[in-house]
Amino acid sequence: MKKTRILLSVVLAAFLVMTIGVPAYGAKTIKIGVIGPMNFMQGKGHWNGAVMAAEEINAQGGIQVGSKKMKIELIKADSNEFLSITDATNAMERAITYDKVDFLVGGFRTEAVLAMQDIAMDYKKIFIGCGAAHPTLCIRVARDYKRYKYFFRGTPFNSMFLVKTCFAHLGFVGKELKTQLNIPKLKVAIVGEKQVWVEPMIGVAKTTIPKLGMELVGVWRPSQTATDVTAELSAVQRSGAHIVFTIFSSSVGITFARQAGELKVPAVMVGINVEAQKDGFWKATQGMGNYAMTMNTYARGVEVNELTKPFIEKYIKLFGEVPTYTADTYSAIAITLKKAIEKAGTLDADKLIPVMETMEVMVPSGRVKYIKDAKGRKLHDLAWGPGYLTSLGVQWQDGELKAVWPNGWQGVTYKGVVPYKIAPWIVEKYKK
Amino acid sequence: MILDIIVSTLINGSVYALLAIGFSLIFGVARIVNIAHTAFYMIAAYCIYFATHRIGLHPLWGMLAAVVLVTLIGLISYKFFIDPIREHEAAVLIATIALAMIFQEVMLLIFSGDFLSVPSLVKGYVLVLGVKVSYQQLLTIAGALIILAAVWMLLMKTRLGLAVRSTADDREVANLMGMNVARVAMMTMGISVALAAFTGAVVVPLTILNPHMWMHPLIMMMAVVVLGGLGSIKGSFAGAYILGFSEALVVFLIPMGSFLKGSVALSIMILVLLIRPEGLFGVAFEEER
């Protein structure tokens, strides 16, 4: 009896090892782990972009790896990173050790991506970050190249450049207000959610706004999940602000735009409002978010280059919405990885890295080039500015998200960019 | 600014009062610490969203349907998850936490984590002494006050209300007097959950829906109940407006620190408890015999 039990235990253990531990003998596919918060818009973008890339590549027979063509197999990894960083690291660990992925794309929240990055580096897997903007992710590459060389930034460009872009937008809107409404001295109110990433931006804004010839009239810091900001809006109105410089990544961006629209607050909104980048913003604000402006990567009808329009239209056809920037997993797979693998003729990460580092590729949002830091060290971070990635300034205009910037900024204007509009109640208040 | 503070106090205070009174009722009658109370409020909000955006009903019909549906869900939850373990307070606490988490995950699965909203019943705003107050805010205040008045009438002027109050005062004596305490507890659960659903209905046009929207009101509601005195309806009412007022003061007087409004309100609660541990209108419960 005892022997039978031991025998059964051994058989069971062997069965488990065979079924769980060894999932894919002799696989002929390139396995790409798509990691993101799959129950949220950001994760959906990650997955959709990757699906589009995989379908496109597989329809062409796969990626040419040396002498053979290999198809793409996507592995969905739900990081649940908004709620738990542990879930994110577990998802990363599982994708690498159980699903045996060859490459990884995705990630959104910096805190989670830093943790996930370490796991990917432990296993020497190329991880293209498509969501987090913090410079540290790439500074790690420069400081400890041997360990972190497997990480590349996919999207967006780092937050230092995001800040620069925001102030370019502020200057642009200020110029529009001066021109159209003849306001001699513009007043700016900063409203930024209470999150760590906002702190340095407010510090920079305090010194930059006066340099732009504008007056800073106050800073308001609601909670990122505030469901009522009428108090802040009343205070903004009392301050006489003409412009509200918004720094929102969470639901407060919807609340603020909706209540500002309902109360017809006489100040234009410009800056970062992540919720305003999404198609759902119009519905979420019940149309009250009209005229809100934010930085964004894509807008329907705007062509950064010849790849933009086909990408956006196909994405809309497949998923029924304009892609958010996390959908740049498409570019990471269908352009960056594909070209690197075909050029190197291998899936070996150490052989692919030098190829990726020197590559310059056109993607739907601009041109990707990996830059070095001031000391000449490899960063694997993205080049920003004319000729490379600039992003867009988009404005909600009667239910449609239109690009209004760059419109001549440093000589850059994209096809499809439209004029900036000022809300009628603001025109009415200030037009003399 | 004073008017701003009054409006803000009335809205937040009324919402907290509606939630806290419902929570207090079921605690007073059945000693159930229902952590899932604000999760019912969240479900009501999602039901209204579903009715308006997916079925195309007018929000008002959606609100009525949500109240009925959520009350039913509340009663079913009570019958199957709470009633069997009602005598074990710690078990009830854990079961209601689990229930809230289940509701959250279900909403996440059905509606995803996207932020959603419901249209206002009335659009536009009115200028009151130079301050812009939206019609929807006024309607929310009026709705909340009407419901509070109805609850007061129910408790003070009806036989059911008398039974609820008697059971809350002394369960054992109520039982000895021939009252069916279990049935009263069931009906109180219905009233309590209906109040949570009503709160969801009056707040939903002003708020943003997401599966975690039940957490912040839960903390504030419990703070209100503790501040007002466990089991005291009058205390819940007063505590709600005190905390609502303190939140409004912080937002209007410290613009850089408006995110601190919750912390300040909770600090006030702690201060009051240090001076008066049983809360403002504390009820001394009878010892279990």
B61-109 per-position pLDDT tens digit: 999 999 999 999 999 999 998 989 988 888 999 999 999 999 999 999 9
User: Would you state the pLDDT for residue A10?
Assistant: 56
Helix (H, G, I), strand (E, B) or coil at A388: coil
Q: For residues B135 and B7, is the Cβ–Cβ distance under 8 A? A: no
The residue whose two tokens read 């830091």 is A373
In B, what residues contact A, Cβ < 8 A? 1, 4, 7-8, 11-12, 53, 108-109, 112-117, 119-120, 123-125, 131-132, 134, 136-137, 206-208, 210, 212-213, 216, 248, 251-252, 255-259, 261-262
Which residues on A lie below 8 Å from B131 (Cβ)? 234
Task: Look at residue A268 and tell me whether its pLDDT is greater than 60.
Answer: yes
Nearest CA in chain A to B255: A220
pTM (two decimals): 0.81
| Mean pLDDT to the nearest integer, A370-378 | 95
User: Would you state the pLDDT for residue B237?
Assistant: 87
User: Would you state the pLDDT for residue B249?
Assistant: 86
Residue A48 CA to residue A44 CA, distance in Å, equals 6
Which of A44, A263, A280 has the CB atom closest to B134's CB atom?
A263
Tell me B260's DSSP state.
Answer: G
A129: Cα within 13 Å, side-chain hemisphere: 34
Q: For residues B2 and B159, is the Cβ–Cβ distance under 8 A? A: no
Phi-psi domain of B119 (left: phi exceeds 0; alpha: psi -120 through 50; beta: other) = beta
**Cα distances (Å, whole numbers) of residue B111 to A36, A41, A280, B106:** 18, 11, 13, 8
Task: Look at residue B275 and tell me whether its pLDDT is greater than 80.
Answer: yes
Residue A223 CA to residue A49 CA, distance in Å, equals 31
Provide the ipTM.
Answer: 0.78
Q: Is A409 on the interface with B (CB under 8 A)?
A: no
Residues whose CB is less than 8 angstroms from the CB of residue B177 and which lie 6 or more positions away in sequence, other chains included: B166
User: Would you state the pLDDT for residue B160?
Assistant: 87
A13-22 per-position pLDDT tens digit: 554 444 444 4
Phi-psi domain of B31 (left: phi exceeds 0; alpha: psi -120 through 50; beta: other) = left
Nearest CA in chain A to B122: A262
Residue (of A303, A248, A310) closest to A274 by Cα position: A248
Confidence of residue B167 (pLDDT cuts 50, 70, 90): confident
| Mean pLDDT to the nearest integer, A36-53 | 94
